[in-house]
């Protein structure tokens, strides 16, 4: 025990005697650990934002739409000839289906939204029915969603997203206030809780939701919609999807051999898409990280060889006095690990600072797990880069070492 302690003390003394050199050596590790922890922070941040924004969609919600969510560029030409999805489908589905609890048509248009002097340009105005509140599992920050009669009669009421609220009503309560959409007044009855953005994915934060009928009134005319469907409790999404497919084919009058002329989309598709993006980001990040750690490790190895060379005589003296191989090995190994660990700690501290800064623009959080992983990675780097020089020190011939000047 005393011997190991002595080794660590001597290792620290050696580092303190060459502070500048040790610091320069650390730089590689600092950068390496910085990229480990930043990468980890970014990925967990992306995960969190993704989960938040996908929540608004509802886990088990199916969307009957003209286009599938993800398609190749040239496929679009095939899908555009499909007939539009009619808003009546929603009611017809509810009548026929045994697995469906809610179904609502929705459609969107873009418009400027004003309140007094404040305005937000080109806001997504989403028209839907009262059932949307049950389908999307929306969390409201305040107020309520619109009711069945409000849907049916196309009352001029609106539920606004978090960003709309902060832009139009920086310091007042929006409930009961009237905003202007396309020259029409809409009374605000609810505000949706903040969701966060994800890679350009549609976010509920920047949306104004009004009854579909009102949307049709103010924009004039009717057009294709998307029908959102929520299965009953105890029914799997797959079962519901199967029944939905059958009903839709009936509504469209398709013969058995004919292909579907509609798409049934679900959250799953986003997850798959997200997983591949996340994989790409992780792979690039991992590559950069491993590369910088290798460079940092080589730096340490290099300086350890110099350190062993410089202290050859010391090693000889210690061996003459009875130091065994492992003790010498441990002394130099601890020097490498200490350098690497200090570098890693500095890297984490810088990350903590950067994360604090990043949080202003992006969801970023440095987890304890990530700190532990980063510190372990720096210890491992230290051991790997120190083992060869330390082994060289341990194997020195005492007679030759003690004569070395």
Partner 1 sequence: MALLELKQVTKVYQVGAVAVHALRGIDLMVEKNEYVSVMGPSGSGKSTLMNVIGCLDTPTSGTYILDGKTVHDDRIEQSSNGKLSDDELAFVRNQKIGFVFQTFNLLPRITALHNVELPLIYAGIHKKDRIEMAKEALRKVNLEDRMHHQPNELSGGQRQRVAIARALVNNPSIILADEPTGNLDSKTSREIMQLMDHLHDEGNTIILVTHETDIAKHAHRVVHFLDGLIASDELTPKGKG
Nearer to partner 1, 6 or 124 (CB): 6
* Dist CA 166 CA 181 (whole Å): 17
Per CB under 8 A, contacts with partner 1 among 61-100 are none
* Dist CA 199 CA 46 (whole Å): 9
Nearer to partner 1, 2 or 200 (CB): 2
* Dist CA 165 CA 174 (whole Å): 7
From the number of C-beta atoms within 10 Å of its C-beta (0-12, 13-18, 19+), residue 148 rates as: exposed
> Taking CA 139 as the corner, what is the angle to CA 107 and CA 157, rounded to the nearest 5 degrees?
50
* Dist CA 380 CA 336 (whole Å): 10
Task: Give which of 223, 202, 212, 218 is closest to 113, Cα–Cα.
Answer: 218
Task: For the CB of residue 383, give the shortest distance to partner 1 in the complex, in Å.
Answer: 22
Nearer to partner 1, 256 or 322 (CB): 322
Among 2, 183, 221, 253, binds partner 1 (CB under 8 A): 2
Cα dihedral value 5, 340, 37, 35, nearest 10 = 180
Q: What is the pattern of x (binds partner 1, CB under 8 A) and - over residues 315-334?
A: -xxxxxxxxxxxx-------
Among 223, 313, 369, 372, binds partner 1 (CB under 8 A): 313
Per CB under 8 A, contacts with partner 1 among 359-398 are 398
Measured from the Cβ of residue 130, the count of other Cβ atoms closer than 10 Å reads 17
Among 3, 118, 276, 376, binds partner 1 (CB under 8 A): 3
* CB 298, CB 385: distance < 8 Å: yes
Nearer to partner 1, 310 or 369 (CB): 310
Nearer to partner 1, 272 or 400 (CB): 400
SS3 46: helix
Q: What is the pattern of x (binds partner 1, CB under 8 A) and - over residues 13-52?
A: x---x-----------------------------------
Nearer to partner 1, 52 or 307 (CB): 307
SS3 255: coil
* CB 32, CB 288: distance < 8 Å: no
Task: For the CB of residue 17, give the shortest distance to partner 1 in the complex, in Å.
Answer: 7
* Dist CA 282 CA 280 (whole Å): 5
Nearer to partner 1, 170 or 322 (CB): 322
Task: For the CB of residue 31, give the shortest distance to partner 1 in the complex, in Å.
Answer: 31
Nearer to partner 1, 156 or 318 (CB): 318
Q: Tell me: does residue 205 bind partner 1 (CB under 8 A).
A: no
* CB 233, CB 101: distance < 8 Å: yes
Q: Which residues bind partner 1 (CB under 8 A)?
A: 2-3, 6, 13, 17, 313-314, 316-327, 398-399, 402
């Amino acid at each position: 025990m005393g011997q190991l302690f002595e080794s660590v003390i001597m290792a620290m003394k050696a580092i303190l005697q060459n502070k500048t050199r040790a610091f320069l050596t650390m730089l590689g590790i600092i950068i390496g650990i910085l990229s480990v922890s930043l990468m980890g922070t970014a990925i967990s941040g992306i995960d969190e934002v993704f989960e938040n924004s996908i929540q608004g969609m509802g886990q088990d919600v199916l969307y009957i739409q003209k286009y599938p969510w993800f398609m190749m560029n040239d496929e679009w030409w095939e899908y555009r000839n499909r007939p539009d999805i009619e808003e009546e489908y929603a009611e017809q589905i509810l009548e026929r289906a045994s697995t469906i609890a809610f179904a609502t048509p929705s459609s969107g248009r873009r418009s400027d939204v004003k309140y007094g002097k404040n305005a937000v340009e080109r806001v997504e105005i989403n028209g839907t029915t009262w059932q949307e509140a049950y389908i999307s599992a929306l969390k409201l920050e305040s107020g309520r969603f619109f009711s069945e009669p409000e849907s049916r009669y196309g009352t001029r009421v609106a539920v606004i997203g978090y960003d709309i609220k902060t832009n139009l009503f920086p310091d007042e309560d929006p409930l009961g206030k009237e905003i202007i959409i396309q020259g029409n007044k809409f009374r605000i009855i609810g505000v949706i809780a903040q969701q966060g953005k994800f890679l350009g994915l549609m976010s509920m934060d920047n949306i104004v939701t009004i009854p579909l009928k009102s949307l049709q009134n103010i924009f004039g005319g009717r057009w294709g919609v998307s029908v959102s469907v929520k299965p009953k409790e105890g029914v799997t999404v797959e079962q519901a999807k199967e029944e939905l497919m059958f009903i839709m084919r009936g509504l469209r009058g398709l013969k058995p051999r004919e292909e579907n002329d509609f798409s049934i989309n679900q959250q799953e598709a986003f997850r798959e898409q997200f997983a591949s993006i996340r994989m790409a980001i992780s792979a690039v990040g991992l590559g950069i990280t491993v590369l910088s750690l290798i460079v940092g490790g080589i730096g340490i190895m290099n300086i350890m060889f110099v350190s062993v060379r410089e202290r050859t005589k010391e090693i000889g003296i210690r061996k003459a006095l009875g130091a065994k191989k492992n003790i010498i090995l441990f002394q130099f190994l601890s020097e490498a690990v200490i350098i690497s660990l200090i570098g890693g700690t500095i890297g984490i501290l810088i990350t903590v600072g950067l994360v604090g800064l990043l949080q202003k623009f992006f969801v970023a959080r440095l987890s304890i797990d990530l700190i532990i992983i980063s510190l372990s990675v720096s210890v491992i780097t230290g051991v790997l880069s120190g083992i060869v020089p330390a082994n060289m020190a341990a194997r020195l011939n005492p007679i030759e070492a003690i004569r070395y000047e």
